Amino acid sequence: MSRYVITGTWDESISYDEAGSTITIETADLRDTRSGAVYTQGAYRVRIKSTVEGAPRTKTFKGETAWSASERYAEDARWFFRRQAR
C-alpha cells in the first residue's frame, strides 16, 4: 500500500482552454497512512482532455512540491497545444 492516499473528492482549481483541448488543475486532501496526518490540498492533478495525438496525459502530483510541479506540467501542456495550433 502507498504511504500517501488521496482522500475526498477532487476540487477544480483552475481550467484553461487551449486550441480545442482542456487543461484543468484539481486539488484533493492527502492522508499519510503511517501517521494518519491529513494534508489539506496535498495532492494536485492536472487533467487533460484532448483528441490531439501525442498530447500530454493526465498526471497526479503528491506532497510538498505538488503545487509547483502541477503548475509547471500544466504550463508545458499549454505550450504543447499552442504549438500544435500553429
Tell which residue, 6, 1, 68, 11, has the closest CA to residue 43: 6
> Nine-digit cell at 10?
477532487
Over the stretch 8-25, which tens digit does the pLDDT of each residue have?
Answer: 999 999 999 988 899 999
Tell which residue, 60, 66, 59, has the closest CA to residue 41: 66
Over the stretch 40-59, which tens digit does the pLDDT of each residue have?
Answer: 999 999 999 999 999 999 99
pTM, rounded to two decimals: 0.90
CA atoms within 13 A on the CB side of 35: 5
